[in-house]
Amino acid sequence: MSNPTVILNGDQVYCDELIRENARLTIQHEADRLTLEQMRKQCVSSEECTAKVAEAYARADKAKRDAEALNSKLRQAVADLHFVMAGGDACKVCAVKCAFGEGNCKPVWRGEDGADL
């Protein structure tokens, strides 16, 4: 039995060849569709990741501002400590403001035994 042929525009084309080409194109079309679907999923995932990164940057920026504020307070505390240790008047840096000269200033030293809190 001979291979069936089809004549298109004067060219002789074998049906087996057409079937193979159609199968190849069908497989390629499905592969392209799957690739496109995967790329769409990656795009959505990328957008979600971008949102998460932006949120992380915002949290890091807030943490940086908080750390700068705490460092400022720490620098001030160290400066006050150096001032008092150098013989400066502790009443100038005392957090409990009392009228000078009354003599009722009672600093509470945390961490010592017997300190009344």
Q: How far apart are CA 12 and CA 22, in angstroms?
A: 17
- Residue 8 confidence (pLDDT): 65
Averaged pLDDT in 10-residue chunks for the chain of 117 residues: 61 75 93 91 83 88 91 88 80 66 59 50
The per-residue pLDDT for 24 is: 93
Its pTM stands at 0.44
- Provide the pLDDT for residue 28: 94
How far CA 30 is from CA of 11, 24, 40, 44, 94, in Å, comes to 29, 10, 15, 21, 78
Question: In this predicted structure, what is the pLDDT of residue 90?
Answer: 72
Distance CA 81, CA 79 (A): 5
Q: In the prediction, which pLDDT does 30 show?
A: 93
If DSSP codes are grouped into helix, strand and coil, which group holds residue 90?
helix
Residue 32 is predicted with a pLDDT of 93
pLDDT at 68: 92
The predicted structure's pLDDT at residue 115: 46
Give 110-113's long-range contacts (Cβ < 8 A, gap of 24+): none
